[in-house]
Every structure is written in C-alpha cells, then in structure tokens.
Amino acid sequence: MTIWKASAVAVAAVIAVGCSSDDDARPTEPRTVDAIQVRAETVEETFSQVGEIQPYHDTALAFRLNGMLASRLPLGQTVREGDVLAVLDKRPAETALRTARAELAAANAAMSLARLAAERQRTLLERNATARASVDEANANLATTQARVDAATVALEQAEDALSYTELRAPHEGTISAVQANQGEVVASGQVVLRLVTEERRHAVFDVPEVLYRTTPEDATIALQLVTDPGITAMGTIDEVAPLADPSTRAYRVMVAVNANAAAMPFGAPVLGTLVVGQDQLARLPASALTKSEGGSAVFVIDPQAGTVQRRSVEVARFDERFLYVSAGLADGDTVATTGVAKLRDGEQVLVREGAR
C-alpha cells in the first residue's frame, strides 16, 4: 500500500509541474470589449400618463317649462349656434299668449275710460260743478287702471317668453351626443332632453398626482399621442385644473386643451400625455456598462495609452429601458467599457473591438 501511495503522489506531482510550466509559458491575451466615448448631452426628464379625450363642452339641455315633446333632432346631428334642437307642443303657450294680449287690450280700454273720467272731473271742479271727492275718486280709478295695464304688459311679456321657451336652441355649435326624451313624451321643466358636445374643440383629461400638480407650471405644453394609434399626435396646453383632489384617488383632475389635430382624436379614446419636467447635462451610456463598487454604481474607464481599465464610481441620475444617465464621475472624452464588465478587473489589459466606439 505504501508503494502504491508513493507512486500516485509522484505521478500527481509530475502532472502538476507539467501543467504549471505550460500556464506560465502561455501569454495572457487582452480581453476584447466594446466601448463608448463619453459626450455630455442635454437630457429631458419627462412624466407620462394616460388620460381620455373628452368634449371641450358637454352641455345638458332642457326646457324651461313643462310640456309634450313635439319634435327633436336625431342623435348625431351636427348643428350651429342658435339652431332649433327640439320643440314642445306650442298650443298651451299660444293660448296663454292670446289671453295675455286680451287682458292687455281690456286694461288699455279701461285706462282710456278712466283717463277721460278723471279729465272730466277736473274740468267740472274748475267750474265748481263737482266735489273734490269725485275728482279724487276719478284719479284713484285712473291709477288703478294704469297698474292693471302695467300688470297686463308684464303678463304679455311672460307669455311671449313662454312661447319662445317651447323651442330648445343650441347654445353653441356641436353634435347631439345623447337623446333622453322622444316625441310625444311629456317632459318636466329642467328635465334633460338632449346633450350637445363640441366637435372641433376637445379636452384631454388626466388625473395627476399631487407632486406633479404642485410643480407643473400653468403655461406648460403637453405632448399628446393616441394610445391606439401612436402615429396620431397633437400638442396641448393646460386649460382647467381642479382645486381639490378626488376624495377616493387623491389625484387632481387636469384638463388639457388640444390645440391642433383634435378632430383626429375621437371622444373617449385613451391618450398618452407627456410633460417635460426638467433638463440636465448628462452622459448617456448603455445599461450594460454599469457595474458596482464599494460606494455604489461604477463603470470601467479605459486608459487609451496603457490599454488598461480602471473602475470608477459614478452618480446615476436616471434610467430608461436601454440607457443609464450619469451626472457625475465622468468627463467628456472618457472611454467607457460597455461589454463584459462583470469579468473585468482593475488594471486588466483590454482590446477595444474595432468600430465599437
């Protein structure tokens, strides 16, 4: 057993010596890496959120008096300001108007007679042919009939207004987006009959968090892009901002006026709004260049003269899907390794792949 053990040890030693000699004799080749030269550039910090396209004006329209709906325009009809949208049965209002006109005519006739009587009593009083009490009574009767004329005049104006209220007119141009009553239906005063939305002007509505609500300037410009068709874009400006947060979501509603290409964005469509919240001078590097150091993030900087790499700590300002943005630790012109950084060591010789910079 002792002889076999000694022989095994001797063979292992010979193999080890042979291997060691081969490794020492084989020269170490530089590791090939990709690299990029640092150039500071202006990088925008953006905030994006999905909202919804809504009409600039969405107006619920109702009659000012009760009545039976005689006619209305169909759903989807485009109208101009002042166009008649719906009509109530006019017969009750026309009857009330005729009655008011008759009351005014009767009041005017009574006032004419009272005026003649008052003038006659004043003439008789000048001739001492009547008593002062008769004159006072005639003047009081004239004042009463005058008041009756005034009341009848107001009643006539009200009747004329009531007749005009039987027609529901468009307060602005737009499209009928909803119909909530049909011909022959009796509607009450204030009951919504139609909804009218603006067709050309539109809002992009977003619910934003408090931090953005407090920091966004009122004159900010928002880039808009349809989620379902990213090729359709527009620009918008902040038009309205809710002063209070929603009690359930704690978000603030912001309405952005779509300044151009609004017609290409249909109502109810999801829209992506992007706001530039800041700009910085940063060095953009591929995400593959990032490694770690004792102090945190680091990259390997290549010495172009010696062909070696050195780990250098950096401050990373932000990330995106492909790049990292360095705010400190690098200077313009530095060459940074972008591949194989997990295997690199300080002082290691590297060879930059041709065309990789």
Q: Does 150 score more than 90 pLDDT? A: yes
Residue 285: the pLDDT is 83
Distance CA 62, CA 168 (A): 7
Q: Does 144 score more than 60 pLDDT? A: yes
Q: Does 84 score more than 50 pLDDT? A: yes
- Run of H or E residues at 11: helix 2-25
Query: Could you please report the per-residue DSSP string of 265-292?
Result: S-TT-EEEEEEEEEEEEEEEEEGGG-EE
Residue 20: the pLDDT is 42
Distance CA 100, CA 98 (A): 5
Mean pLDDT of 132-159: 94
In tens, the pLDDT along 161-195 reads 999 999 999 999 999 999 999 999 999 999 999 99
Compute CA distances 53 → 68, 210, 221, 314, 320, whole Å. 35, 22, 17, 43, 28
Query: Could you please report the per-residue DSSP string of 221-261?
Result: EEEEEESS-TT-EEEEEEEEE-SS--TTT--EEEEEEE-SS
Residue 28: the pLDDT is 65
Q: Does 21 score more than 50 pLDDT? A: no
Q: Does 234 score more than 80 pLDDT? A: yes
Contact 219, 203 (CB under 8 A): no
Q: Does 6 score more than 50 pLDDT? A: no
pTM: 0.61
Residue 36: the pLDDT is 80
Distance CA 134, CA 194 (A): 61
41 pLDDT band (50/70/90 cuts)? confident
In tens, the pLDDT along 246-277 reads 898 899 999 999 987 788 889 999 999 998 87
Q: Does 77 score more than 90 pLDDT? A: yes
Residue 48: the pLDDT is 86
Q: Does 301 score more than 50 pLDDT? A: yes
In tens, the pLDDT along 316-335 reads 887 777 888 888 888 888 88
Compute the mean pLDDT over every residue in the chain, rounded to the nearest whole number: 85
